[in-house]
Chain A
């Protein structure tokens, strides 16, 4: 329907065009003036005007990148969250944080993002404006630029109101080697904040369960926090963000890739009381709920205190905790010491956690 449309205006001096109708229609994806109105109103309106001519691609000077490291990190992620707006965030904030965090956990300093939107006809233009402003604000907070984008409009029913894809590039400085296979027996497993806020907030916000939970998504860009951690503990073995599948999925992946065991201490894992209450009511387990602002760090045991100190000093790490240890028992398996002195396996779930009554 449209070619790549760079989100910067070709007509810097002229007054910005505005969409005059309340909802997006197929015409706004047609490549004509309606689409130009939409892009200028919504995206240029939010991201500002770089003053650069419209091209089909963003151009990033190599010299800037080379000065900051020796490897380019490149990642992509699609966002299909329902509802679009929820306590603690919205799909736009999520799209920026998700990609910034995927770069950051590789040790990359995020530099630039793309942002492609697939809009279902009928979406309110005002909702789109709010989400675009949220994208811009989150990108600014994370210190990255949205340099290219794309807009498509699809027929009603072909998507759920709005889907966003963001890709991102970042630079990894020389010598930094984080990797999922790097965990070694004895290492400490650390997380920066409580589990389950995002998963619980989304489930509650959908309203289908008619549960009123004072829980907000933890959705946040973690690049600042991770930079602080890596400055304090350059020998960090690996980082991951505990998104879909929750902490359980990340640790199982690590245990398998690193051929190590993981032993968690249930008592040490931070979970907010209201998230715990929400989980109990629905028979869910916070270990499996998705997070959008939780990073898992594995550091050598003798650097655990330094890592925790660095995290605690950052606003997103106030509840950081050492939650477990990498072991050489049962490689590939994650086990948890229960407060009772018992042990349970922490396996992967088959699919999404479902509320249960029995």
Chain B
């Protein structure tokens, strides 16, 4: 397939198909007796899906008997303040060129964001890829180039392969500040939340192309909830909604793959090999809004210690208390709606975020603030 997979003439954005799908979803919800007061609640784990839902206005066109809960899958949003403080401390070392994805620039630390640190004189550069950071290291042999690695399993292979490349080329002035987190303990944390209301999961598409489908099996077998691995086009999300409702309707609980064009059942072996070579599980990792989650993060293995910014720089990861009355944790687990937080839109806005979910455009609160308004007013 050629043109159809690019934007523009994209068949996964076809309005007419979407309209019919929405009608079928409505019929399913009616059969299930779902209403606005008693909706079917589906959680999209991944911030990319949150973005698709708001970007295309999907909440507004779907029947009121369906409610989206926006899950913890935005790695920027769940980064604790202490780690941003670490980034700032590393970046302010005059030897360092600190490189980061654009997403992390505005995330507040306890004292400042990376953007503020840049304004204060730190050499901080936005890059598109960890490979670009490695290139900066090649070109600046007299400087220490640190890459701020964050993200779930989707992004891990890219930083792992970059470290392997650095080792192969013997690049001595490159290191990775590893803040990667893993999806499965995160989902487990949501499932274990008291009062958890999720009826089914719209599963992360790009994490799954790395890890495959098998790691999700426990969600069906132990927690009796369905999950459908889903692509990021509007029709992908609608199809998955339909598939989840159809499972509920048929009384089955399964892990399904709507995104088979990208996600192989077994994941990506080369990507997993790179991850295994470079990273090992941390005993626990601190999340903003969710607290500490066991085995939810990875660190760089001893063998690659010289590429580990945590070992090369004095990284203290200070414990920074969450701001008072911030409800990010509740929002992440689906027990609190963004606008139910006392800070939403008042003390906490995209201009001056208090909670992490107001920071990234994929954070549930920022998304509601930017695109939402409409639905919230109606609901």
List the interface of chain A (C-beta within 8 A of B).
208-211, 273, 276-277, 280-282, 333, 335, 337-345, 347, 350-351, 354-358
Q: How far is the CB of A282 from chain B (nearest CB, A)?
A: 7
Given A342-B56, A342-B57, CB of A357 within 8 Å of CB of B103: yes
How far does the alpha carbon of A210 sit from the alpha carbon of B132 in the complex, in Å?
8
Contact in complex: A358, B55 (CB < 8 Å):
no
Contact with A along B124-141 (1 / 0, CB 8 A): 011111001001000000
How far does the alpha carbon of A161 sit from the alpha carbon of B309 in the complex, in Å?
34
- Chain B residues lying within 8 Å of A354, measured Cβ to Cβ, are 102-103, 105-106, 126
Q: From B102, which residue of chain A is reached at the shortest CB distance? A: A354
Which residues 363-377 in B have Cβ within 8 Å of A in the complex?
369-374
Q: How far is the CB of A128 from chain B (nearest CB, A)?
A: 28
Contact with A along B259-290 (1 / 0, CB 8 A): 00000000000000000000000000000000
Tell me if B8 counts as interface (CB < 8 A to partner A).
yes
Tell me if B7 counts as interface (CB < 8 A to partner A).
yes
Q: What are 18 inter-chain pairs, A to B, with CB distance below 8 A?
A: A273-B7, A335-B374, A339-B13, A340-B61, A341-B15, A341-B19, A341-B57, A342-B57, A343-B374, A344-B56, A344-B374, A345-B370, A354-B102, A355-B128, A356-B103, A358-B74, A358-B75, A358-B155
Contact in complex: A208, B125 (CB < 8 Å):
yes
Total interface residues on B, using CB and 8 Å?
47
Tell me if B338 counts as interface (CB < 8 A to partner A).
no
Which residues 1-60 in B have Cβ within 8 Å of A in the complex?
6-8, 13, 15, 18-19, 47-48, 54-60
Contact in complex: B61, A341 (CB < 8 Å):
yes
Contact in complex: A345, B374 (CB < 8 Å):
yes
Q: How far is the CB of A267 from chain B (nearest CB, A)?
A: 9
- Chain A residues lying within 8 Å of B103, measured Cβ to Cβ, are 354, 356-358
Contact in complex: A340, B8 (CB < 8 Å):
no
Contact in complex: B127, A209 (CB < 8 Å):
yes
Instruction: State which of A276, A282, A350 has its C-beta within 8 Å of the C-beta of B8.
Output: A276
- Chain B residues lying within 8 Å of A339, measured Cβ to Cβ, are 13, 15, 56
Contact in complex: B372, A345 (CB < 8 Å):
yes
Contact in complex: A340, B56 (CB < 8 Å):
yes
Tell me if B208 counts as interface (CB < 8 A to partner A).
no
Q: From B135, which residue of chain A is reached at the shortest CB distance? A: A210
Tell me if B350 counts as interface (CB < 8 A to partner A).
yes
Contact in complex: A350, B351 (CB < 8 Å):
yes
Contact in complex: B101, A356 (CB < 8 Å):
yes
- Chain A residues lying within 8 Å of B151, measured Cβ to Cβ, are 357-358
Q: How far is the CB of B361 from chain A (nearest CB, A)?
A: 7
Instruction: State which of A208, A276, A337, A358 has its C-beta within 8 Å of the C-beta of B127.
Output: A208
- Chain B residues lying within 8 Å of A209, measured Cβ to Cβ, are 127-128, 132
Q: From B154, which residue of chain A is reached at the shortest CB distance? A: A358
Which residues 36-92 in B have Cβ within 8 Å of A in the complex?
47-48, 54-61, 74-76
Contact in complex: B15, A358 (CB < 8 Å):
no
Tell me if B362 counts as interface (CB < 8 A to partner A).
yes
Q: How far is the CB of B113 from chain A (nearest CB, A)?
A: 11
How far does the alpha carbon of A209 sit from the alpha carbon of B15 in the complex, in Å?
33
Interface centre among A280, A282, A341, A347 (most CB of B within 10 A): A341
How far does the alpha carbon of A217 sit from the alpha carbon of B373 in the complex, in Å?
34
Q: From A284, which residue of chain B is reached at the shortest CB distance? A: B102
- Chain A residues lying within 8 Å of B115, measured Cβ to Cβ, are 351
Contact in complex: B128, A340 (CB < 8 Å):
no
Contact in complex: B102, A355 (CB < 8 Å):
yes
Instruction: State which of B7, B15, B101, B371 has its C-beta within 8 Å of the C-beta of A345.
Output: B371
Contact with A along B317-361 (1 / 0, CB 8 A): 000000000000000000000000000000000110000000011
Instruction: State which of B7, B15, B47 has its C-beta within 8 Å of the C-beta of A340.
Output: B15
How far does the alpha carbon of A78 sit from the alpha carbon of B79 in the complex, in Å?
38
Tell me if B231 counts as interface (CB < 8 A to partner A).
no
- Chain B residues lying within 8 Å of A335, measured Cβ to Cβ, are 374
Interface centre among A281, A340, A355 (most CB of B within 10 A): A340
14 more A-B contacts (CB under 8 A) besides A344-B54, A347-B370? A209-B127, A210-B128, A210-B135, A211-B128, A333-B373, A337-B57, A340-B234, A341-B18, A342-B57, A344-B55, A344-B374, A351-B115, A356-B102, A357-B102
How far does the alpha carbon of A282 sit from the alpha carbon of B127 in the complex, in Å?
10
Give the 9 A-B residue pairs with the shortest CB-CB distance, closest first. A342-B57, A354-B102, A355-B102, A209-B128, A357-B101, A344-B371, A342-B61, A338-B57, A356-B103
- Chain A residues lying within 8 Å of B60, measured Cβ to Cβ, are 342-343
Which residues 83-122 in B have Cβ within 8 Å of A in the complex?
101-103, 105-106, 115
- Chain A residues lying within 8 Å of B361, measured Cβ to Cβ, are 356
Q: How far is the CB of A350 from chain B (nearest CB, A)?
A: 5
- Chain B residues lying within 8 Å of A211, measured Cβ to Cβ, are 128
Q: How far is the CB of A357 from chain B (nearest CB, A)?
A: 4
Instruction: State which of A337, A347, A351, A358 has its C-beta within 8 Å of the C-beta of B76.
Output: A358
- Chain A residues lying within 8 Å of B126, measured Cβ to Cβ, are 208, 354-355
- Chain B residues lying within 8 Å of A340, measured Cβ to Cβ, are 13, 15, 18, 56-58, 61, 234
Q: From B8, which residue of chain A is reached at the shortest CB distance? A: A273
- Chain A residues lying within 8 Å of B370, measured Cβ to Cβ, are 345, 347
Instruction: State which of B48, B55, B155, B373 has its C-beta within 8 Å of the C-beta of A338.
Output: B55
Q: How far is the CB of B354 from chain A (nearest CB, A)?
A: 14
How far does the alpha carbon of A345 sit from the alpha carbon of B372 in the complex, in Å?
7
Q: How far is the CB of A269 from chain B (nearest CB, A)?
A: 13
- Chain A residues lying within 8 Å of B234, measured Cβ to Cβ, are 340
Q: From B10, which residue of chain A is reached at the shortest CB distance? A: A339
How far does the alpha carbon of A338 sit from the alpha carbon of B62 in the complex, in Å?
14
Instruction: State which of A282, A341, A342 has its C-beta within 8 Å of the C-beta of B128.
Output: A282
Contact in complex: A342, B58 (CB < 8 Å):
yes
Contact in complex: B7, A280 (CB < 8 Å):
yes
How far does the alpha carbon of A351 sit from the alpha carbon of B361 in the complex, in Å?
12
